[in-house]
């Protein structure tokens, strides 16, 4: 309507002024309801053509989206394992900090596993102390074996000396030689036992202790999992969990956590596909939201999704007919406030209307630009004012349409 009024000032009004003052025709006498088309046909035709051209130019170079939303993501509250609720720490719609406990599952099984792991660690520690004591005893056995071996060697050397004078029997000397071999074997066995104990103390038992401590840590982790905590700061919604309820990570979550500041940084708008060549990163935009009426929020285009979601295809066991995806999708555009706190007061999930404006400042600053191109780019930038005025009118009428005309 606004474009039609503007174009009529440039077309119908001059045609009427020419008929009135140039030809002397007056409304109600020469220009009536039945002759208005004949008398003002040039102005009316030019007005329709100019209006259509102006609307096309405005909505193409300065696109608008009525499906802009402050989309936010929620975090599902669920445990990592199935269990029965033993204790609930929070209530409905309560604000929580990151890491705050939400509820606790029955942990009797995990407590038993943790106690078993602790006993295993204590058992390994006791084994280390026992082995160290055995090592001290082995040192005494080595000294005893060394003494016995040395005694056998000394006796053998003495009897061997006497054998040269035939003072002792050769059988006695041979027996002593066999005794020396036995005492040497016993000494070597005792030394090997000491090395075995030292290896157990240095390698085997520490490895067993490390495994037991790892099992203890794993048992502690499993026990900690029974206490479900908030991953981020936010507000708990739809949380009606009570003691005795069974929660399941796949089928029955406990509630929803809305992160703090969710939906207050970005608007996601769906523009028509025809604006795919116009929408660029860095374009200035404006938005007005139902949740914050009578307010124009300056925005900037931070990203334009390269694909259109309506054309996505997932592999199935059936061939997809293109006709099933005939309804055109929208071009997803991400908008962020131009100034800090621009979306303050806008409820997350609020529906908004967004306009984006083409800026040809850099092209107009080119000294080699032609006259026709210079005029066309100036006209494109100028008509953006019309779309900005339309958005402000929508911001004024939006509460009326929502509260009065919609019948709510």
Q: Which comes out higher in pLDDT, residue 166 or 14? A: 14
- Mean confidence (pLDDT) of the chain: 82
**Do the beta carbons of residue 54 and residue 382 sit within 8 Å?**
no
What average pLDDT score do residues 365-377 get?
A: 84
User: Do 83 and 184 reside in the same domain of the chain?
Assistant: no
Q: Are residues 57 and 67 in the same domain?
A: no
The whole-number pLDDT of residue 254 equals: 82
For residue 161, pLDDT beyond 70? no
Higher pLDDT, 157 or 360: 360
45 lies in some domain: yes
Largest CA distance in the chain: 171
Task: Check residue 196 and give its pLDDT.
Answer: 81
| Residue 354 pLDDT | 92
Residues 14 and 53 in one domain: yes
Partners of residue 65 on adjacent β-strands:
354
Q: Are residues 80 and 91 in the same domain?
A: yes
Mean pLDDT computed over 157-177: 64
Question: Does position 298 have pLDDT exceeding 90, yes or no?
Answer: yes
Which has more pLDDT, 364 or 180?
A: 364
Positive/negative CA dihedral, 251, 252, 253, 255: positive
In sequence order, the 6+-apart residues with CB closer than 8 A to the CB of 141 are 190, 193
On whether residue 347 sits in a domain, the answer given is yes
CATH (domain of 181):
1.10.287
Give the contacts of 318 (CB within 8 A, at least 6 positions apart): none
* Structural domain boundaries enclosing 1: 1-61
The domain boundary residue, chosen from 224, 250, 278? 224
Whether residue 74 contacts residue 234, with contact meaning beta carbons closer than 8 Å, is answered with no
Tokens at residue 146, please? 């060394």
Top pLDDT among 315 and 124 is at: 124
Q: Give the pLDDT band of residue 287 (cuts 50, 70, 90).
A: very high
Does residue 316 belong to any structural domain of this protein? no
How would residue 174 be classed by pLDDT, with cut points 50, 70 and 90?
low
Q: Are residues 172 and 213 in the same domain?
A: yes
Q: Are residues 117 and 86 in the same domain?
A: no
Domain boundary among 169, 202, 224: 224
Q: What is the mean pLDDT of residues 96-114?
A: 88
Q: Are residues 82 and 123 in the same domain?
A: no
The answer as to whether 339 is a domain residue is yes
We report the CATH number of the domain holding residue 250 as 2.40.50.100
**In total, how many domains does the chain have?**
4
């Amino acid at each position: 309507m606004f474009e039609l009024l503007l174009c009529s000032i440039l077309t119908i009004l001059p045609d009427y002024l020419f008929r009135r003052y140039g030809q002397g025709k007056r409304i109600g006498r020469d220009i009536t309801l039945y002759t208005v088309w004949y008398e003002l046909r040039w102005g009316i035709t030019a007005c329709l053509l100019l209006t259509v051209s102006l609307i096309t130019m405005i909505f193409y170079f300065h696109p608008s989206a009525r499906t802009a939303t402050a989309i936010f993501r929620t975090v599902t509250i669920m445990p990592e394992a199935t269990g029965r609720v033993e204790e609930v720490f929070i209530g409905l719609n309560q604000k929580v900090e990151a890491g705050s406990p939400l509820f606790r599952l029955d942990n009797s099984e995990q407590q038993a596993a943790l106690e078993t792991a602790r006993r295993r660690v204590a058992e390994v520690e006791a084994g280390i102390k026992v082995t160290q004591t055995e090592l001290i005893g082995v040192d005494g056995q080595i000294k005893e074996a060394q003494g016995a071996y040395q005694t056998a060697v000394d006796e053998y050397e003495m009897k061997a000396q006497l054998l040269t004078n035939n003072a002792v029997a050769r059988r006695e000397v041979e027996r002593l030689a066999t005794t020396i071999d036995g005492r040497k074997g016993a000494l070597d066995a005792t030394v090997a036992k000491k090395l075995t104990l030292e290896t157990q103390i240095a390698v085997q038992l520490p490895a067993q202790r490390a495994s037991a401590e790892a099992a203890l840590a794993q048992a502690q982790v499993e026990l900690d999992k029974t206490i479900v905590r908030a991953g981020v700061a936010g507000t708990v919604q739809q949380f009606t969990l009570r003691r005795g309820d069974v929660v399941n990570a796949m089928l029955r979550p406990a509630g929803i956590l809305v992160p703090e500041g969710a939906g207050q940084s970005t608007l996601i708008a769906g523009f028509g596909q025809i604006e795919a060549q116009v929408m660029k990163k860095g374009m200035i935009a404006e938005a007005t939201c139902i949740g914050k009426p009578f307010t124009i929020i300056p925005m900037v285009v931070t990203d334009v999704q390269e694909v259109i979601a309506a054309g996505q295809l997932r592999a199935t066991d059936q061939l997809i007919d293109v006709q099933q995806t005939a309804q055109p999708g929208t071009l997803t555009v991400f908008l962020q406030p131009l100034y800090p706190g621009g979306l303050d007061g806008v409820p997350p999930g609020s529906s908004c209307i967004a306009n984006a404006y083409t800026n040809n400042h850099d092209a107009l600053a080119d000294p080699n630009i032609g006259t026709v191109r210079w005029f066309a780019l100036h006209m494109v930038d100028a008509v953006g004012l019309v779309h900005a005025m339309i958005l402000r009118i929508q911001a004024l009428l939006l509460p009326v349409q929502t509260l009065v005309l919609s019948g709510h």
